A and B are shown apart, each in its own frame.
Chain A
Amino acid sequence: MLDIIREYDVIGAFWITIQLTLYAAVGSLLIGTIVAILRVSPVKIFSWAGVAYVNIVRNTPLTLLVFFMFFCLYQLLGWHISPLSARSSTHAFQWGVVGLSFYHASFVAEALRSGINTVPVGQAEAARAIGLGFGQSLRDVILPQAFRGAIAPLGNTMIALTKNTTVVSTIGVAEASYAMKNAIEFSPNVLYVIFFIMALGFVILTLPMGVLFTHFSRKLAVQR
């Protein structure tokens, strides 16, 4: 088992998976928060834009979204985050992160919306009653509680994100599933061992995440 891990650089592949997860988690949290704010904003056009974003992105397969980002925005439009001289694997990685961020942002937005729903109506009414505007009451009263109420669904999104990073292997990012495919094609006789190692890697990544998020969702839940 150790030979396989060493020979196919399993650790390196999982390190890419972890990096994809972390960057995309930050990206999707940022975009998702903006979308959630748009959805609840008093300006009609913004709330329509928020609803449209969630409905469009959530119903599109991630594969298609990642393809669109990579082939259309990067290869056809030539948009790039690193200088064009960077290695092609760097570009694939970065566009993979962008695709994952935009896709999971729709789930983050939904999680936050359900978090906003856990905040009692009285909180928003009290905020308005003391004269806070929409932005102020959202920033100082509603969102801090909404985030704490949304930890469980946000955790689920993060776990799903970890597993969905495998999708960017379709544009050639050498993460865990890419390494697995590679390893199986070179040594099909140890197919089961390879799958077991790779699957175990994901169990090790996601199980503690679930435990941690459950713990925090209880610990940080607003007592009512």
Chain B
Amino acid sequence: MSEQAVLFDIPGPKAERRNTVIGIMGALVIVGLLGVIVYGLRDQLTPAMWAPFLSADTWRYYVYPGVFMTLQAAIVSVVLASLLGLILGMGRLSHNKVIGWASAIFVEFFRSVPVLMMMLFAFYVFMFTFRLPGGLLPIVGVVVGLTLYNSCVMAELIRSGVHSLPKGQREAGLAIGLSPSQTLRSVLLPQAVTAMLPSLVSQLVVILKDTALGYLITYPDLVRAMQNLSAVKGNLVTSFLVAAVIFILMNYSLTSLARWLERKLAGRRSGPAAVALTDLAIDPDPDEDMYADSELYADPAEYTRGKRPLH
């Protein structure tokens, strides 16, 4: 529903005028609040504080390496998490009770534990048990933590994706003589994975943001790089602002890509599954939505049976 058009009448000239007045007053309040902060931080926002960002060295030694490290951890994690997630997802869908239970316990456990704790744990395990050289510890900690958590998220995505496929797909697979696992591999998974592509991209946003947690185990990601820069130049506020803008640009473009993919796939597929699954993935947020396993979001088919309107 385009709620904008439904929640209120189309404003007439009088309401239009009133809205403009309220709007201007509201804008003044918002600008005023921001102004108080900017005024308070005025010593930190002088041209001298922005000057480091005009020199190529700042970008070469701080910004680019930070962005590179953040992207590196995110990409390695997303690849590993996808692989592990596929295995776990298939495990949960398996007819073998032992495999099913083992995967379920693994997924439920690691989904409930904060990513930061898993990073810390991995960091210390590789330090004390595997005696890894110190230089490798931060990246290993970040990647292991992110992979463990996000593979569980992806396993859940795959499970709910397969569950939301029309029943006939599975029945048809079995009817032409494929075994249950063959049906899963050649009929159900390809459809589920295609439909979950947008959510996979949205998950990258979560992973990108979570690389910043590596700060605590001294991973030199963008946030730490910018803090190092501010330690040298004394421009904490502008460094944070630049880091924020870079994160927002990266994540916003990823979110847009996910939306585009979603629309593209929704057009290509006629089945109800694509709609229900992508709905699950984009709205309200991929990170939080992961808890919406099939029970939480009720039956995705409800959307299509008309119980819940699909705006």
Q: Are B251 and A63 interface neighbours, CB within 8 A?
A: no
Q: Are A76 and B237 interface neighbours, CB within 8 A?
A: yes
Partner of A160, one of B23, B287, B296, B309: B287
Q: Are A170 and B236 interface neighbours, CB within 8 A?
A: no
- B24-65: which residues lie under 8 A (CB-CB) from chain A? 24, 26-27, 30, 37, 40-41, 44
Q: Are B116 and A166 interface neighbours, CB within 8 A?
A: yes
Partner of A199, one of B30, B113, B252: B113
Partner of B240, one of A64, A77, A125, A133: A64
Per-residue B-contact encoding for A99-122, CB less than 8 Å = 1, 0 else: 000000001001101101110110
Per-residue A-contact encoding for B176-220, CB less than 8 Å = 1, 0 else: 000000000000000000000000000001001111110110000
Given contacts A49-B26, A107-B284, contact A40 B4 (CB under 8 A): yes
Q: Are A67 and B248 interface neighbours, CB within 8 A?
A: no
Tell me if A18 is interfacial: C-beta within 8 Å of chain B: no
Of A1-9, A83-91, A148-156, the segment with at least 4 beta carbons within 8 Å of chain B is: A148-156
**What is the CA–CA distance of A107 and B292 in the complex, to the nearest angstrom?**
14
Q: Are B296 and A210 interface neighbours, CB within 8 A?
A: yes
**What is the CA–CA distance of A177 and B119 in the complex, to the nearest angstrom?**
10
Partner of A118, one of B19, B116, B309: B309
Per-residue B-contact encoding for A17-47, CB less than 8 Å = 1, 0 else: 0000000000000000000000010111111
Q: Are A44 and B23 interface neighbours, CB within 8 A?
A: yes
Chain A contacts for B9, CB-based, 8 A: 128
A residues whose Cβ falls under 8 Å from a Cβ of B: 40, 42-47, 49, 55-56, 58-64, 67-68, 71-73, 76-77, 79, 107, 110-111, 113-114, 116-118, 120-121, 124-125, 128, 133-134, 137-138, 142, 152-153, 155-157, 159-160, 163-164, 166-167, 169-170, 176-177, 180-181, 184, 188, 191-192, 195, 198-199, 202-203, 206-207, 210, 213-214, 217-218, 224
B residues whose Cβ falls under 8 Å from a Cβ of A: 1, 3-4, 6-9, 11, 15, 19, 22-24, 26-27, 30, 37, 40-41, 44, 108-109, 112-117, 120-121, 124-125, 127-129, 205, 208-213, 215-216, 223, 227, 236-237, 240, 243-244, 247-248, 251-252, 255, 283-285, 287-292, 295-298, 307-309, 311
Determine the residue in chain A with the shortest Cβ distance to B116. Answer: A166
Q: Are B116 and A40 interface neighbours, CB within 8 A?
A: no
Q: Are A118 and B308 interface neighbours, CB within 8 A?
A: yes
